[in-house]
Structure 1
Amino acid sequence: MEKRDPLPINIKFYHAPDMQCWKGRIDGTAETELRWHQHVQPLNLVAPFKQSLEGCVILLGFPCDEGVKRNGGRTGAAQGPAALRDALCNLPVFYPDLSIYDAGDIVCRENDLKTAQVQLAAAVKRICEHGAFPLVLGGGHEVTYGHYRGIAESIRHESGARRVGTVNFDAHFDNREPKGSEPNSGTGFWQIAKDCKEENHPFHYLALGIQKTSNTPSLFNTAHQTGTQYVLAEHFTKDDQHIPQGLIAAFIEAVDSIYLTIDLDVFAAAYAPGVSAPAYSGILPDRVFFECLDSLFNSGKVVSMDIAELNPDFDIDNRTARLAASLIFHVIARLADRH
């Protein structure tokens, strides 16, 4: 079996944070007047850390849509991290004691997606090993495999077995078998399942918001064969919310750590038009969704998160970017509650 330890972070694939992007409205400098662009601090991942990062949130961009292109999706998600940072700038700071750092970007050079994913894994691993919470800004959903590998590697040497589970809010399973050896934005969970089998680890995957119009019967068969648990988008209603909540509760009990990924195409296109593959009848960013999100974070087991598929080229009035920013704002509140 091939060696899977991430390489050290290669500066060819790493862009240090550019704090010039963090600018916006200034109401004052008192703690109660701050906005995110006044609160976020830079962090260089290839330099020695001079401060403790325990309990901090680290923003890390993955401006890549090479996997989307390979998967036949609409390119443009490589601009997602920049658009999301811009949408975050003017958010108010309600939790000044929770430090938030921008660690820059892991980039995909010369269409080399495999190496970019290895580099993302190395960056996530370093963040996790310093006790911080990685919040990765995509980019296409090819972010999944590298992000997961970083988490898996970070806990591999901890004492005792750790069961890592992935929760994916998505219209798609993203469990396609790669053509040849080339991964894409739709192969992440097939790759993870393959790794788990080779490493003799259980494969824990819960997909929330799946649509039959977005997945072939073959992909449903793959989900069943790999033991994937899922909830269809049609069950994200007030009357049926016990269905996703029940599976979430059982999933939380079955794992020790949770990697959460939110593909913005899980939401109805009216709320998230700026994505690589819009889902016109997707779920709503309503109370049912946020109660599911809160159940995950209330467990205390979510150790990392990303937001994928923001495509500014197709956004309307920054609607999708603002939705993604509001999700991060909500998550920051949940993380602040831990302290």
Structure 2
Amino acid sequence: MMKPDFYRQPVAWTGRIDGTDEELLRWHQRVTPVNLLTGSLPSLKPHQQGVAFLGFASDEGVRRNKGRVGAAEGPAALRTASSNFPVHFDGELILADVGDVICKDDLLEEAQQTLSDTVLTIRKAGYLPVLLGGGHEITYGHAHGIYQHLRVRKRGEKLGLLNFDAHFDLRMKGEEGSTSGTGFWQLAQDCKLEGAPFYYLALGIQANSNTQQLFRIAGDLDAQYVDADAFHLQDKALLHAAIGQFLRDVDHVYLTIDLDVFSAAFAPGVSATAYNGIRPDGLFLECYRNILQSGKLAGIDIAELNPSLDVDNRTAKLGAALLFEMISNLHYH
């Protein structure tokens, strides 16, 4: 159920206008605001696809995780950085913006439940949820909503969780509850309660960003990971093999990109910068496009953009470029 106190209605996207002919259009001319409290997503025609942008304006999980706050402003910055993109996609694709889920009065768990319910609404309407973060506490609400949708369908489908990140985000919950670092641990506990398999692949893991305990927990959960060295040393075979096998093992994929996986030279506007993070280069794009083109995408989000720490909107532009790649290579169920 949508909680009005945790929802902010969308506003119209704006930007440069070169004309109204199809070849002159920009994203802001194709995005339709949809207030989910008063309306619903437009019905899709057979074989038509739709994307629903949803912000998660929260950094309460970052605060609880003792990080630098500011990511609550990430959704607005990602929209601004994306608005003027030229339209290079099928004219039949519907782009909708359904507003933001907000974290009110530090009530993160309630915000995550609202996020989960909103993702379920988007999936039931046949749209791909494209979420704009926000701290990485976005993961638990987003993926939980996809799991809910698969349970409603009752087809025994397997969901894989794929995370580009320097961190495992497998911390156990403490006294404060959920944080930006507990999402995948929480999902693993849910899977255990449901008797469901836990499929998790993390790409870009840094040894200097994860304790021995986190590596042990990853092992205990049979989580798979490829460390950042595979990207630095251009180990294409290892990367493609890991991603390919993971995609074969699951029916659907939840994909999250924590912008702190990238080198601080490209992504200074995050809570925890990585001087030796991966580069958004050709090797990364090969991996990213393989996932996008798999036809198994069930949801995607961009996390940890902190505009207050950004330099020349560099991180916002990187996050927006990832959205442009996603729309350009869109294949989902």
Shared fold, TM over 0.5: yes
Residue number in structure 2 paired with 1:69: 63
The letter for the 1-side match of 2:293 is N
Residue number in structure 1 paired with 2:9: 16
Q: Secondary structure at 1:242's aligned position in 2?
A: helix
Residue number in structure 2 paired with 1:282: 277
Q: Confirm or deny: 8 A CA contact 1:238 1:288 kept in the other structure.
A: no
Q: Confirm or deny: 8 A CA contact 1:168 1:263 kept in the other structure.
A: yes
Residue number in structure 2 paired with 1:4: none
State the superposition RMSD in angstroms. 1.4
The letter for the 1-side match of 2:194 is E
Q: CA deviation at 1:181?
A: 5.7
Unaligned runs of 5+ in 1: 1-7
Unaligned runs of 5+ in 2: none
Q: CA deviation at 1:50?
A: 6.5
* Runs of 4 or more above 3 Å deviation: none
State TM-score, norm by structure 2: 0.96
Describe how 1:1-339 pairs up with structure 2 within 5 A.
8-19=1-12, 22-49=13-40, 51-53=42-44, 55-95=49-89, 96-180=91-175, 182-237=177-232, 239-335=234-330
Q: Percent identity?
A: 51
Q: Secondary structure at 2:42's aligned position in 1?
A: coil
The letter for the 2-side match of 1:174 is D
The letter for the 1-side match of 2:237 is H
Structure 2 Cα separation of the partners of residues 239 and 182 of structure 1: 38
Question: C-alpha deviations, 1:22-50, integer Å up to 9, x for none?
Answer: 22211111111111111111112223437
Q: Confirm or deny: 8 A CA contact 2:64 2:176 kept in the other structure.
A: no
Q: Secondary structure at 2:329's aligned position in 1?
A: helix
Residue number in structure 2 paired with 1:5: none
Q: Secondary structure at 1:236's aligned position in 2?
A: helix
Corresponding pairs, count: 329
The letter for the 2-side match of 1:325 is A
The letter for the 2-side match of 1:55 is Q
The letter for the 2-side match of 1:76 is G
Structure 1 Cα separation of the partners of residues 176 and 71 of structure 2: 23
Structure 1 Cα separation of the partners of residues 315 and 139 of structure 2: 20
Q: Secondary structure at 1:9's aligned position in 2?
A: coil
The letter for the 1-side match of 2:42 is Q
Q: Confirm or deny: 8 A CA contact 1:237 1:288 kept in the other structure.
A: no
